[in-house]
Copies of this chain bind each other. A is one copy, B any other.
């Protein structure tokens, strides 16, 4: 592991306040790996062997049952995934795959559990991280239960706009197929949802989306502090 990587990892919220020795022990046991796109990193139902962090790239969390598949979340740089399964030493509830070339930090679950036993500050940090994860899922769940497909798309566009430069033009961070799955709809429906948003100034050209009528779009989307990340 390069010293550069190391300092970057140390700035992850989960490790910031951790005791140096315990951090060293964790890093000792960890793997930092580059994966191409479409590599499955974890499999729903398997025991939680690793805690993962996306350092660079993007990872899709998904689940399958009854011949259907659902995208649960997209994980970006500096974010961890499947922390709860690791802590409970329980099977993963979701599978994970890279959607693009990605750098991923993998920490053996046992090391995390050991550190959590030994290191009080670490335990406290985990609580806040877990609480945040919990609230994020609740928000996603509300998003799905309380909004139509078009509303979900509109809010997601506003979120992208906020995450990016707020220049009125956004670049989709993954393909439309995945975006559709994340929003809980089919790709065909996403196309039609974009058409529905055209009167609200949403111009689509490939993965570049131009927002020409923010006010109108916001009126339609009705972003909500208790559901969306992008509202301040």
Chain A residues packing against B (C-beta within 8 Å)? 44-45, 63-66, 68, 70, 72, 83-85, 87-88, 90-91, 93-94, 116-117, 120, 123-124, 126-128, 130-135, 137-142, 144-147, 151, 184, 222, 224-227
- Residues of chain B within 8 A (CB-CB) of A66 are 146-147, 151, 222
Q: Which 9 A-B pairs have the closest CB atoms?
A: A70-B145, A84-B131, A84-B134, A65-B146, A130-B130, A137-B137, A87-B131, A134-B134, A88-B131
- Residues of chain B within 8 A (CB-CB) of A147 are 65-66
A65-B146, A117-B124 known; 10 new pairs, CB 8 Å cut-off, are A65-B142, A65-B147, A66-B151, A68-B145, A84-B130, A84-B138, A85-B135, A90-B135, A91-B226, A123-B124
Q: How far is the CA of A20 from the CA of B125 in the complex (A)?
A: 24
Partner of A70 from B117, B135, B146 at Cβ < 8 Å: B146
Which residue of chain B has its CB nearest to the CB of A67? Answer: B146
Q: How far is the CA of A227 from the CA of B63 in the complex (A)?
A: 10
Task: Tell me, rounded to whole Å, the shortest Cβ–Cβ distance linking A69 to chain B.
Answer: 8
Q: How far is the CA of A65 from the CA of B139 in the complex (A)?
A: 12
- Which of A64, A83, A137, A151 has the most C-beta atoms of chain B within 10 angstroms of its own C-beta? A137
Q: How far is the CA of A63 from the CA of B84 in the complex (A)?
A: 24
Q: How far is the CA of A226 from the CA of B45 in the complex (A)?
A: 7
- Residues of chain B within 8 A (CB-CB) of A133 are 134
- Residues of chain B within 8 A (CB-CB) of A68 are 145-146
**Structural contact, A141 and B226, CB atoms closer than 8 A:** no
